[in-house]
Amino acid sequence: MKSLTLAVLALLALPMSTWAGEKATEARIKEVAERGRHVMPFNLEQTTHIFKKVPTGGIQQVIVKDKANTVQIKLIREHLSKIAREFKAGNFSDPVKIHGKNMPGLEKLRNAKSGEYKVTYKELANGAEIDYVSKKPELVTAIHQFFDAQLSDHARHATSGHDMSRHSMHHSMHGMSGASAQTPKADAVDQRLLIQFDEVQRAYFLKDMRTLFSGTQAILGALANEDMQTVAKTARSLGLGMTHDVKSKYHGAIPKAMMHMGMAMHRTFDDIARDAESIRDSKHTLQQLSSTMAQCSACHASYQIQVNQ
């Protein structure tokens, strides 16, 4: 016990650089990884840490690189459920041990009143996640700063989750190829993953995209007129029903993670249709549409089409 206390004290005594200079130096990344080893039980090389900022707060995920790595999955779950409990109680001592006591956003989170932000732990098939939600804009900002600090410090050991969908962790689709892991990148500048389609698949896919775009426009137009019936009808046409022939059209050319993103996005249109009929609140529909469009953007940021010769 005594040696553990000493170890922690020694860690706290390490010099902590500030977050003023955007990108962490290699020395800082190593220092953070070293301190992390004492705080986080899982292996940073065998796992991916994702900090995804969303309009209501953020989603922190830790997932294994190899789905069969049950040892790391167990360690991830143990650690994330523990810190989620601590964060709920306003105790941020673990990240402080790694990132220093001046972590941006921390002060605000610590001083928040009970119930002003919510921390929820969830198990994922390949790891675990913690969801941070607040209705107070300044706490949402604090959560974003807290995420940014960890992203910059962990550098190559973490990502902002642009190329991953949280939905991809929750659902499993059958009969689709799992090409995502090895999908080649376009080039060093354009980091979107390449999806291999033939000419016909590309034409089908982009036509569906244009339907989504014009449908979204039609929903906005109907909302401006408080015409909830048209909202519901249009949204339903963009729902999961639109995906009935996906398998036959694309023959597994769509990687799993992207397929999940697409399905999750279509599902939100069904939700919009249902609520437009039952709740009939245009402001609520606008909020739903906004998060749907965040899903359009997330997928656009992650993938691009390449036509096979």
Q: Rule CB under 6 A: which residues touch ligand HEC?
A: 195, 206, 209-210, 212-213, 216, 258, 261-262, 265, 292-293, 295-296, 299-300, 303-305
Contacts within 8 Å (CB) and 24+ apart, 173-179:
173/256, 173/259, 173/260, 173/263, 175/247, 175/252, 176/247, 176/252, 176/254, 176/255, 176/256, 176/259, 177/252, 177/253, 177/254, 177/255, 177/256, 178/255, 178/256, 179/252, 179/255, 179/256
Specify the residue, 130 or 223, whose C-beta has the smaller distance to ligand HEC: 223
Minimum separation from the CB atom of position 148 to ligand HEC (A): 25
User: Residues 66-85, buried b or exposed e (16+ Cβ, 10 A)?
Assistant: eeebeebbebbbebbeebbe
Specify the residue, 142 or 232, whose C-beta has the smaller distance to ligand HEC: 232
Specify the residue, 21 or 252, whose C-beta has the smaller distance to ligand HEC: 252
Rounded Cα–Cα distance for residues 35 and 80 (Å): 17
Specify the residue, 81 or 196, whose C-beta has the smaller distance to ligand HEC: 196
Specify the residue, 211 or 225, whose C-beta has the smaller distance to ligand HEC: 211
